[in-house]
Structure 1
Amino acid sequence: MKPQETDVLLSGWVEPLPIRRANVISAIHELVTKSLVIAELEVRKLRHDPTDLIIRAVQPVLWLLIFGQVFSRTKAIPTGNLPYLDFMTAGILAQSVLFVAIFTGGMTLIWERDLGIVHKFLASPTPRVAMALGKAIACGVRCLSQVVFIYGLALLLGVKLNLHPLAILKVLLIVMLGAGCFCIFSLIIGCLVKSRERMTGIGQLLTMPLFFASNAIYPISLMPNWLKFISRLNPLTYEVDALRGTMLLNGTSLHGFGLDCTILLVTLIGLTIICGKLYPRVAM
């Protein structure tokens, strides 16, 4: 083989690499851009109905004012050196995020399908994963209002919160990740069911087991072995653990903030891929 031919072959092997790298960067840029566009569209809906944020704050307020106050006095649940109301505050924030995400994702998707909006999105070149991820980002933004409500109420009740800016940023990150996980989980259910009534029933069926099979209102050490196993598979457990270690002044994390974030992020990525595959079923 002549040296000239060898140069041609070598150049043929080397040249596609930058093109392939450029294609990957372009795909990631398109995914991020389209996801943010979808998220912006979803967030704009709050301008038309901001009262939804206040209504969503009623349930966690009742939990902290009634359930938290009663169990703080009875001291029936051992929480170590941490007062029960402090222990419970992180769990109620996670519960609030769970409820908002579950009843926002799938219900919104079915409502948009009935209006024909989903069909228009599916006819566009927007990646299906971006459609799901955009809704998850918007749900996370929606849940940030719950952080404000619960922080304000917790301060009034005397909960010792960690108000360091870095700790607050960590709380916001965990809330965004947790909201994204459960919103996309709700979207997956919305892709499989076909009516709002069925979506409401399944949402109510799932939220309470997810809540009680976590460490939101009692330590995992009090659970029977079978429930401990389920709690380790529950993403809400890791969300609560991260929140308890960051938002409370004397709070501790069993798994560590890094591991909790990693588990939530991996769960979010896996659910997003599944939802992207199922998304076209909505229009069927």
Structure 2
Amino acid sequence: MKHLEIGGRLNGWDNLAQGSRRLKKRNLWQAIAEFINKTLIITELEVRKLRHDPTDLIVRAVQPVLWLLIFGQVFTRIRGIPTNGLPYLDFMAAGILAQSVLFVSIFSGGMSLIWERDLGLAHKFLVSPTPRAAIVLGKGVASGVRCLSQVLVVYFLSFALGVQLNFSAIAMLGVLLIVMLGAACFSIFSIIVACLVKSREGFNGMGQLMTMPLFFASNAIYPIEIMPPWLQFVSHINPLTYEVDALRGVMLLNGTSIYGYGFDTVVLVLVLITLTFIGGRLYRQIGM
């Protein structure tokens, strides 16, 4: 009888432990699903703003046009820049797409947050049950959607200029994925800066301070090999370098990736996760 009692108790404890583990697992998946759902809601709210004022996309489209038509045409005549056998305009096209994504995401992410604070909208987000990380990530994903227009502009102009583009479905999906990741990274980075700066004037100055070093300390318009050693080190820790490298590998018909598309994607995902965590922690400061 005692053995039966002990066995029954042990079975009861086993069943209780299994039920507890199933409950924890179910709660974890529910929390992840809720986080994704709230992130998509924030993304929808941000994308909805584009329908009311699409002029910003038209203005931003001017920048890659000027770079490809003027800068690209001039530097095509210079033979001293090693491009691994690619025509310089082909080499530059991926870099200009990444640059356009950088500029749009930097100025759309942080500046929109400052406007929301001035209008009192940020305080409403702060008192809502939405996780701060979901708010920040949703804004980053929305910035990626905003940057898709830059893909159309750069592709159209590059094709018109004779750049050998890869129009396969897999390559196009790869380009969209990298653009979304890069835009989200730099948008959240600008949100972090906006949380610290807190004023439109200060952020405008910081925006220029962020974009130009990130752009020129990358492989967007020249290879890393011709940089001085200290700038090569900066380039290797610059996320834009890996975005350009991935785009150059999948966007161009004869393009190659130095680090590999998978490695570039992993780097951008890790940067995105890290910045989302930091941005979520700092977001509450926007209401102070």
Aligned-partner Cα distance in 1 for 2:185–2:223: 22
Match in the other structure for 1:140: 144
* 1:68 aligns with one of 48, 62, 72: 72
Q: TM-score, normalised by structure 1?
A: 0.98
Deviation sequence 1:207-233 (CA, Å, 0-9, x none): 000001000000011011111111110
Aligned-partner Cα distance in 2 for 1:174–1:217: 18
Count of aligned pairs between the two proteins: 284
Match in the other structure for 2:215: 211
Tell me if 1:26 matches 2:33.
Answer: no
Aligned-partner Cα distance in 2 for 1:51–1:27: 38
Structure 1 unmatched runs, 5+: none
Aligned-partner Cα distance in 2 for 1:178–1:247: 15
Aligned-partner Cα distance in 2 for 1:147–1:54: 13
What are the within-5 Å matches in structure 2 for residues 91-110 of structure 1?
A: 91-110=95-114
What are the within-5 Å matches in structure 2 for residues 133-282 of structure 1?
A: 133-282=137-286
AA aligned opposite 1:64: L
SS of match in other structure, 2:76 = helix
Cα-Cα RMSD: 0.9
Aligned-partner Cα distance in 1 for 2:172–2:124: 39
Larger mean CA deviation between 9-18 and 91-100 belongs to 9-18
Q: Which of the pair has more CA radius of gyration?
A: 2
Match in the other structure for 1:12: 16
* 2:43 aligns with one of 39, 44, 47: 39
Aligned-partner Cα distance in 2 for 1:83–1:77: 10
Aligned-partner Cα distance in 2 for 1:168–1:184: 24
Aligned-partner Cα distance in 2 for 1:272–1:266: 10
AA aligned opposite 1:142: R
Deviation sequence 1:115-171 (CA, Å, 0-9, x none): 010111111111111100110111000000000000000011011101111101100
AA aligned opposite 1:164: S
Structure 2 unmatched runs, 5+: none
Aligned-partner Cα distance in 1 for 2:11–2:175: 56
1:74, distance to aligned residue in structure 2 (A): 2.3
1:51, distance to aligned residue in structure 2 (A): 1.2
AA aligned opposite 1:68: G
SS of match in other structure, 2:220 = coil
SS of match in other structure, 2:185 = helix
SS of match in other structure, 1:2 = helix
AA aligned opposite 1:8: G
Match in the other structure for 1:85: 89
Aligned-partner Cα distance in 1 for 2:207–2:22: 47
